[in-house]
């Protein structure tokens, strides 16, 4: 059974008898669902309302009739967990039913920049065109704008000229100006809808969207969703491999990214009661691979040294070229990639944190599957990317989970060797998320159960082996101690995964400091961006040697700085020029070809000595 889901128009396939809830699960993937279902799809809550727009489904059952008004049933409203498709159907998920991915970091600091957006709106009072006043609509608009705004050779876009009678009546109009070009014309006698821009942080796993009023700079709405490409490859490498497999694959990945941006835009505009066509400008900050996959640019060369981006230029495309039905003149601006593994999202982070204008010595980290590091050192900027792997995001950890409710995000060992666990939303523990794993390892290092080489002390009473000679594990929570949760262990291999990840970051840090000719003692400030970095316990990160051991007050945890940077570029042409200049200022340090890399990596593998 084909099911087409709106917004987005994506197709999923159901086995006979499966409910529409299953379609929502398929759409989201990864055990998530695109349809909100607080009761887990048992028909207890009545929240999973969808609208069947087209096609045959089972008649409404008694559960549905109990939750849905007859007038809504007539309109096709159904409960996704009860309704079964009997043939191809088109189903709309209304905004109140769409599920957001829980606890996704999208806040960031409020962007504080002087407004200088790429599009402006003017209201013009027109006089009728007559023989005595022989001025066309366009000429009158040009004159009015030129009277208050310094612009030369102002021109209307050909599609506007085509669509509008050039003679003017006695009325008011609102026009959109982009550079020297008029790109929109709307009636001026009605209340003005907001002039909208959208910033997108297009990550490998998560996509955050920010809807901004371009005239006030105000954030109107924000939302985070999973990158729908995840189903075709969880990490960058597997996704690039998939893209290289067949041109249709690359086209499909691009389609998914566009759909995701459209979906986000629809969610955000619906939330404020605005139209998609009100969006005049989009700014996308992405890592190089996501940037290329969105534009369907070649990615084969990203798989081998020297890891060349197809282009390192900032790119602007019309929204229509990406099949995004925003305002007719809408443009998509993509921040330039700097290198194969240092993307526009890293530039956005450097912009947002103002690291580029730091005096003295500042290190900036955006820790994830790839960790980008920037070093500002007396006016110069160095940057690199380390393959830290997904351990910090809870993957490659035996009981690792994403930052969902019930994920352990903090661990504290008490005197008797027991572990006190804190979970997201105080739910019974379901696993360890990245900050929880780092905390657990740090605590075990602190109490000496993990030695500097990373080995678990097999003699410790809470270290056990399932069978003699098998992999040891530390019991964080036994079956007896946890109500409604699972037993939790930290396995030897989990510790090793964290060790390798932090060694990669440490080696990158060493490479940048070597390039700048400084030592760790010279570092004065550390900025940590990104979701993982925001929830990271700094003392634990220092304890395991992931971050240099500066006093805690020297650190700033700035949240999703890439999204903030994208929003700054969205509302300010000055910031856009600045970020483009930044790209040429940064000295990119390629770790792959560096003969010293292995040495730095080995040095960074060790955990700091007890008491150090």
Of the pair 163, 420, the CB lying nearest its own copies is at 163
Least distance in Å: CB of 580 to its own copies?
9
d(CA 444, CA 490) in angstroms, rounded, equals 10
Least distance in Å: CB of 171 to its own copies?
16
Of the pair 385, 564, the CB lying nearest its own copies is at 385
Q: What track of x and - describes contact with its own copies for positions 111 through 140 (by CB under 8 A)?
A: ------------------xxx--x-x-xx-
Residue from the set 11, 42, 300, 585 that interacts with its own copies by CB under 8 A: 300
Which listed range, 73-81, 304-312, 421-429, 601-609, lies at the site for its own copies (CB under 8 A)?
Answer: 304-312
Q: What track of x and - describes contact with its own copies for positions 167 through 206 (by CB under 8 A)?
A: x---------------------------------------
Cβ within 8 Å of residue 185, ≥6 positions away: 156, 160, 163, 164, 173, 174, 175, 176
Least distance in Å: CB of 577 to its own copies?
11
Residue whose entry in the numeric block shows the structure tokens 């959208």? 198
The DSSP line for 254-284 is: HHHHHHHHHHHHHHHHHHTT--GGGEEEEEE
Whether the Cβ atoms of residue 510 and residue 518 lie closer than 8 Å to each other: no
Angle, CA 120 vertex, CA 116 and CA 123 arms, to 5°: 140
Angle, CA 498 vertex, CA 497 and CA 503 arms, to 5°: 100
Least distance in Å: CB of 165 to its own copies?
6
Residue whose entry in the numeric block shows the structure tokens 């030695």? 451
By CB under 8 A, tell whether 297 contacts its own copies.
Answer: yes
Least distance in Å: CB of 138 to its own copies?
6
Alpha-carbon torsion 341, 344, 346, 347, what sign?
positive
Of the pair 102, 298, the CB lying nearest its own copies is at 298
Q: Residue 116, SS3?
A: strand
Q: What track of x and - describes contact with its own copies for positions 537 through 576 (by CB under 8 A)?
A: ----------------------------------------
Residue from the set 34, 85, 101, 156 that interacts with its own copies by CB under 8 A: 156
By CB under 8 A, tell whether 161 contacts its own copies.
Answer: yes
Residue from the set 58, 277, 301, 574 that interacts with its own copies by CB under 8 A: 301
Closest CA to 24 of 36, 16, 8: 36
Of the pair 298, 417, the CB lying nearest its own copies is at 298
Of the pair 322, 421, the CB lying nearest its own copies is at 322
Of the pair 167, 216, the CB lying nearest its own copies is at 167
DSSP designation for 17: T
Which listed range, 47-55, 161-169, 267-275, 485-493, lies at the site for its own copies (CB under 8 A)?
Answer: 161-169
User: Rg of the chain's alpha carbons, rounded to an integer?
Assistant: 27
d(CA 220, CA 433) in angstroms, rounded, equals 30
By CB under 8 A, tell whether 303 contacts its own copies.
Answer: no
d(CA 513, CA 382) in angstroms, rounded, equals 9
By CB under 8 A, tell whether 87 contacts its own copies.
Answer: no
Of the pair 150, 158, the CB lying nearest its own copies is at 158
Largest CA distance in the chain: 101
By CB under 8 A, tell whether 146 contacts its own copies.
Answer: no
Of the pair 80, 299, the CB lying nearest its own copies is at 299
d(CA 24, CA 35) in angstroms, rounded, equals 5
Considering only residues 578 to 597 of the shown chain, the ones binding its own copies according to CB under 8 A are 590, 593
Of the pair 36, 580, the CB lying nearest its own copies is at 580
DSSP designation for 389: -
**Residue count at the site for its own copies (CB under 8 A)?**
35
Least distance in Å: CB of 251 to its own copies?
11
- Of the chain, the end-to-end C-alpha distance in Å amounts to 62
Structure tokens at 467: 């069978």
Cβ within 8 Å of residue 559, ≥6 positions away: 105, 107, 108, 109, 529, 530, 531, 534
Whether the Cβ atoms of residue 273 and residue 191 lie closer than 8 Å to each other: no
Which listed range, 90-98, 277-285, 296-304, 470-478, lies at the site for its own copies (CB under 8 A)?
Answer: 296-304
d(CA 245, CA 226) in angstroms, rounded, equals 23
d(CA 366, CA 372) in angstroms, rounded, equals 5
Considering only residues 308 to 347 of the shown chain, the ones binding its own copies according to CB under 8 A are 308-313, 315, 317, 321
Q: Would you tell me which residues interact with its own copies (CB under 8 A)? A: 129-131, 134, 136, 138-139, 155-156, 158, 161-162, 164-167, 295-298, 300-301, 305-306, 308-313, 315, 317, 321, 590, 593
């Amino acid at each position: 059974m084909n099911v087409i889901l709106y917004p987005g128009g994506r197709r999923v396939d159901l086995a006979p008898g499966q409910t529409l809830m299953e379609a929502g699960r398929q759409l989201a993937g990864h055990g998530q669902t695109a349809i909100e279902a607080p009761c887990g799809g048992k028909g207890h809550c009545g929240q999973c309302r969808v609208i069947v727009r087209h096609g045959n489904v089972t008649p409404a059952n008694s559960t549905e009739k109990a939750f849905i008004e007859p007038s809504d049933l007539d309109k096709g409203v159904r409960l996704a967990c009860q309704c079964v498709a009997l043939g191809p159907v088109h189903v709309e998920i209304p905004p109140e039913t769409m599920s957001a991915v829980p606890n996704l970091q999208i806040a960031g600091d409020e962007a504080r920049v002087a407004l200088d957006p790429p599009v402006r709106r003017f209201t013009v009072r027109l006089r009728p065109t007559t023989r005595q006043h022989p001025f066309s609509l366009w000429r009158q608009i040009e004159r009015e704008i030129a009277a208050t705004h310094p612009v030369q050779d102002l021109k209307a876009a050909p599609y506007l000229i085509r669509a509008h009678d050039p003679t003017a009546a006695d009325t008011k109009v609102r026009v959109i100006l982009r550079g020297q070009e008029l790109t929109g014309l709307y009636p001026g006698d009605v209340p003005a809808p907001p002039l909208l821009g959208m910033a997108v942080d297009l990550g490998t796993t998560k996509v955050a969207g920010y809807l901004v009023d371009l005239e006030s700079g105000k954030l109107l709405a924000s939302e985070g969703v999973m990158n729908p490409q995840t189903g075709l490859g969880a990490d960058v490498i597997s996704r690039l491999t998939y893209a290289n497999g067949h041109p249709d694959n690359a086209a499909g990945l691009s389609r998914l990214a566009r759909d995701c941006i459209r979906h986000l835009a629809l969610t955000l505009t619906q939330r404020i009661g605005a139209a998609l066509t009100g969006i005049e400008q989009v700014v996308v900050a992405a890592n190089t691979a996501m940037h290329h996959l969105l534009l369907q640019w070649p990615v084969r060369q990203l798989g081998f040294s020297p890891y060349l981006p197809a282009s390192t230029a900032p790119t602007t495309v019309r929204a229509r070229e990406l099949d995004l039905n925003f305002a007719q003149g809408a443009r998509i601006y993509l921040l330039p990639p700097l290198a194969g593994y240092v993307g526009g999202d890293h530039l956005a982070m450097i912009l947002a944190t103002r690291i580029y204008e730091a005096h003295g010595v500042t290190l900036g980290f955006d820790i994830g599957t790839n960790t980008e590091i920037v070093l500002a050192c007396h006016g110069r900027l160095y940057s690199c990317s380390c393959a830290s792997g997904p351990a910090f995001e809870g993957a490659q950890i035996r009981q690792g989970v994403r930052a969902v409710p019930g994920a352990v995000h903090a661990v504290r060992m008490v005197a008797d060797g027991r572990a006190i666990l804190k979970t997201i939303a105080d739910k019974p523990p379901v696993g360890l998320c990245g900050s929880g794993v780092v905390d657990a390892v740090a605590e075990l290092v602190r109490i000496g159960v993990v030695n500097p080489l990373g080995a678990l002390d097999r003699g410790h009473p809470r270290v056990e082996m399932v069978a003699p000679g098998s992999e040891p594990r530390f019991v964080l929570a036994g079956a007896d101690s946890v109500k409604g949760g699972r037993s939790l262990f930290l396995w030897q291999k989990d510790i090793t995964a964290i060790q390798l990840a932090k060694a990669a970051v440490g080696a990158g840090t060493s490479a940048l400091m070597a390039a700048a000719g400084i030592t760790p003692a010279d570092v004065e400030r550390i900025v940590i961006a990104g979701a993982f970095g925001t929830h990271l316990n700094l003392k634990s990160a220092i304890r395991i040697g992931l971050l240099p051991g500066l006093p805690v007050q020297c650190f700033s945890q700035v949240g999703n700085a890439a999204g903030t940077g994208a929003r700054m570029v969205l509302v300010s042409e000055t910031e856009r020029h600045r970020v483009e200049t930044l790209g040429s200022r940064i000295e990119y340090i390629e770790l792959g070809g560096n003969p010293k890399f292995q040495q730095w990596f080995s040095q960074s593998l060790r955990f700091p000595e007890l008491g150090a």
